[in-house]
A and B are shown apart, each in its own frame.
Chain A
């Protein structure tokens, strides 16, 4: 082969290798992006909810599933549908399967405490959602239920100021449910700061709209000049709204509600005036925080339980005057990433 041909061949070869090399070479590395993308491959994240039948848990999982699909980790959901035993079994099984991150939604403050401790001992990073056991896990994302109660009470006091009868009725959920207990404690403590407000009734409606309707209609008949109701969950409070509507007292009786900010239940009712004030513990915010926390834990992989942190959702207050299109969310929206 002549020197010129050899030079040309070498040159062509070098170019080919260069092109092939650059095609096989990864995207420009800013120092973090490649490690970031690698850190999700082959990882598993597991979720044990109280039930998947809520917009709450569906919203959270919509955001996490979105991330799982685009980043490449695997998400498993083991739904015990309210059964504490089935939930405990699911967690125990997951401890054997050793996911990288386990997300647990507690229904109360005690049931899963030992299991969560065991999971962390096995090296699994744990995130607790919505309700916390006394065990501090790598992260906690949830609402401040006591604060929600306090906010609802302050709102009721604000709406029942001068010129009204200052009578307020409280309709709570199941008496023994921890979010309810904390909420009621908040309401009671805040009401102590408002001695002018008269709490005329405090009844439990078990998170059931129909029962709330019955109780509310009885209370309305008893107290003709009632100023406001405080309801502790929007799913239940639609029953109270129906009772107020039936009694023809929509202008007179205010309803302070609270919930996750689901468009159907929350914003629709705020816009049409059924809810006079709404303390929003935004599920969409929680969902995004959860997805972000999963990303962080999968990258950093801290030793389980050594650096716990909390992300308590801000309680935002929505009224018919301040509510906007963006105030509420739907599960489809979260799924689409909006």
Chain B
């Protein structure tokens, strides 16, 4: 079996994305004025840090063969509630603690519906998104855009601070990536997640507590959503709950999938998320610098991503054993 030569050339999804990213990086550096400067590159990273953090949460869920469409709704309504309470006079730490608890409860509810009631993840989280949005608008927040005024203490550093020249959101993205990487690769819970994603029945038969693990997975993604929401709120001093109605959740899935984490579950790692995030960040930054209009930006973004998926599909032909086309 000739493995040697072909495995070097074998391009999986992640490598392809890295190649495209590298090509775009070189092209932008040569042809775009002001792209290849430290401050712009840091700006690029900062602009996609929130998306990257959310993608980490989504990646863990996807590796466990699930999907969490509620992430953006949980993000805006848990932080929205915290800051509505804060505006009403609650002390900031208490308000944030309550928001965090709310996020965890919503994550647990997702996990419960998927693990115990056995509703497929996509339907459960799709429905929960509407429930959370409705509940949020009805009972938790008073207006769509919650402006944060007043002293939030050291929390404001999370959004607008910097260490050396690196903005805080980038550092936090890095820290959360490292922690999640360690959790996935070094702890047994990570091993459980991979096992559940790869073959839930076999995992259950081997004694892995798949149902509590699934609840934990969705709690994790809710926790990550809350953290991302807090960073975003501290960056722009406001919470925009209308994001729950936007297509942001599909951008998150796109980052995860494009980086090479298959939706079938069981494989992938944080490195994939980082590659996907870098590609999207690069695209957004380059297109903004070129002052390309919004509609054209969308078309270019979709074409490049479509290209990545098509090339992947061609390079990794149909695997008869798993009847899976491509690497995704």
Give chain A's interface residues, CB within 8 Å of chain B.
51, 53-55, 58, 81-82, 175, 200-204, 206-210, 212-215, 217-219, 221-222, 235, 238-239, 242, 245-246, 264-265, 268
- Which positions 37-86 of chain B face chain A at CB distance < 8 Å? 37, 39-40, 43-44, 46-47, 50
A268 to B143, CA, bound (A): 18
Interface with A: B9-17, B177-185, B230-238, B254-262, which one? B230-238
B160 touches A239 (CB 8 A): no
* Closest 10 pairs (CB-CB, A-B): A53-B144, A214-B47, A204-B294, A209-B236, A239-B236, A235-B145, A221-B40, A218-B288, A222-B34, A264-B147
CB contacts (< 8 Å) of A210 on chain B: these are 50, 232, 235-236, 240, 243
B47 touches A218 (CB 8 A): yes
CB contacts (< 8 Å) of A221 on chain B: these are 34, 37, 39-40, 43
Distance in angstroms from B321 CB to nearest chain A CB is 43
Among A54, A207, A213, the residue within 8 A (CB) of B235 is A213
Distance in angstroms from A236 CB to nearest chain B CB is 8
* B149 lies within 8 A of chain A by Cβ: yes
CB contacts (< 8 Å) of A239 on chain B: these are 236, 238
A130 to B309, CA, bound (A): 44
Given A53-B143, A221-B40, CB of A208 within 8 Å of CB of B291 = no
A81 to B284, CA, bound (A): 30
B236 touches A213 (CB 8 A): yes
CB contacts (< 8 Å) of B43 on chain A: these are 217-218, 221
CB contacts (< 8 Å) of A217 on chain B: these are 43, 46-47
CB contacts (< 8 Å) of B310 on chain A: these are none
A204 to B167, CA, bound (A): 24
B50 touches A208 (CB 8 A): no
* B246 lies within 8 A of chain A by Cβ: yes
Among A208, A215, A265, the residue within 8 A (CB) of B243 is A208
A201 touches B236 (CB 8 A): no
CB contacts (< 8 Å) of B289 on chain A: these are 218, 222
A-B residue pairs in contact (CB < 8 Å), sample of 19 = A53-B143, A53-B144, A82-B242, A201-B288, A206-B246, A209-B238, A209-B240, A210-B232, A212-B236, A214-B47, A214-B288, A218-B44, A218-B289, A221-B40, A235-B145, A238-B237, A242-B237, A245-B160, A264-B149
* B137 lies within 8 A of chain A by Cβ: yes
Give chain B's interface residues, CB within 8 Å of chain A.
33-34, 37, 39-40, 43-44, 46-47, 50, 137, 141, 143-145, 147, 149, 159-160, 167, 232, 235-238, 240-243, 245-246, 284-285, 288-289, 291, 293-295
A217 to B170, CA, bound (A): 14
Q: A53-B137, A203-B294, A265-B147 are in contact. List 9 more A-B contacts (CB 8 A).
A: A82-B245, A203-B291, A209-B145, A210-B243, A218-B40, A238-B236, A239-B236, A264-B147, A265-B145
- Among residues of B, the one whose C-beta sits closest to the C-beta of A219 is B288
Given A53-B143, A235-B145, A264-B147, CB of A218 within 8 Å of CB of B285 = yes
Distance in angstroms from B225 CB to nearest chain A CB is 14
A268 to B141, CA, bound (A): 21
- Among residues of A, the one whose C-beta sits closest to the C-beta of B35 is A222
B47 touches A202 (CB 8 A): no
A54 to B241, CA, bound (A): 11
CB contacts (< 8 Å) of B237 on chain A: these are 209, 238, 242
A268 to B237, CA, bound (A): 13
Among B34, B236, B238, B291, the residue within 8 A (CB) of A202 is B291
A201 touches B291 (CB 8 A): yes
CB contacts (< 8 Å) of B39 on chain A: these are 221
Distance in angstroms from B250 CB to nearest chain A CB is 14
CB contacts (< 8 Å) of B241 on chain A: these are 53
- Among residues of B, the one whose C-beta sits closest to the C-beta of A209 is B236
A202 to B37, CA, bound (A): 22
CB contacts (< 8 Å) of A207 on chain B: these are 240, 242
